[in-house]
Amino acid sequence: MYFDAVETWSIPESAFADSLREMALDGVNGNEGIVLWLGRRSNRQAQVTHLVALRGAAVIKEPAFLRIEPSLLNEVTEHTIRLGVALLGQIHSHGPFHGTNLSTTDRRYGLAVPHYLSIVAPDYALRSDTKIGECGFFVFEKGTGYIKLSPADVSRRIQIINAGSLPMIFVGDGL
């Protein structure tokens, strides 16, 4: 199978904190933000190794809407190939009145990749003290779509590890 099944994700503590800071850059303007997570899959485990910040006109960020143009995802793909990693998931923010569930737009137009992890951070990621447990966790499963992980599933399947800082790759507008 091209997309190896993933049972657990190892996420460095710094990846979450750095992603919050990146998304807050959009949040201060009242817009959703996003960071893509790259890494490796092996033996039903995925480990986040790189963060991707999206810039420029090919990513549209609004108060309750986020769109990534295919050309920008092509640039992300070029980086994944060069680094020998895969796109494992993303974290994106919702505003204070939108909660941490996936929106209809997220479900309908989000990346439909088997075993893709999608995390929703609250409050436009503006609270630096946000705990990862305050987020919504979803996994895309072929034939089913996005499934919300229960708190028990999150504690079993999401491993927060101390792995130091990860590289942040900036993609878009010739970066």
Torsional class of 93: left (φ above 0), alpha (ψ -120 to 50), beta (otherwise): beta
In angstroms, the CA 8 to CA 83 distance is 22
Under DSSP, is residue 134 helix (H, G, I), strand (E, B) or coil? helix
Residue 134 burial (CB count, 10 A): 13
Which class does domain 8-44+51-163 fall in?
alpha beta
Q: What percentage of the chain carries pLDDT values higher than 90?
A: 89
Q: What is the pTM of this model?
A: 0.95
For residue 73, the one-letter residue type is L
- Contact (CB, 8 A) for 51 and 166: yes
Give the rounded distance of the alpha carbon of 75 from its chain centre. Answer: 16
pLDDT of 134 reads 96
H or E stretch covering 120? strand 117-121
When pLDDT is cut at 50, 70 and 90, the band that residue 140 belongs to is very high
Domain definitions of the chain by residue range: 8-44+51-163
Torsional class of 152: left (φ above 0), alpha (ψ -120 to 50), beta (otherwise): alpha
Torsional class of 99: left (φ above 0), alpha (ψ -120 to 50), beta (otherwise): left
In angstroms, the CA 91 to CA 117 distance is 8
When pLDDT is cut at 50, 70 and 90, the band that residue 27 belongs to is very high
For residue 169, the one-letter residue type is I
Strands 86-93 and 34-42: antiparallel
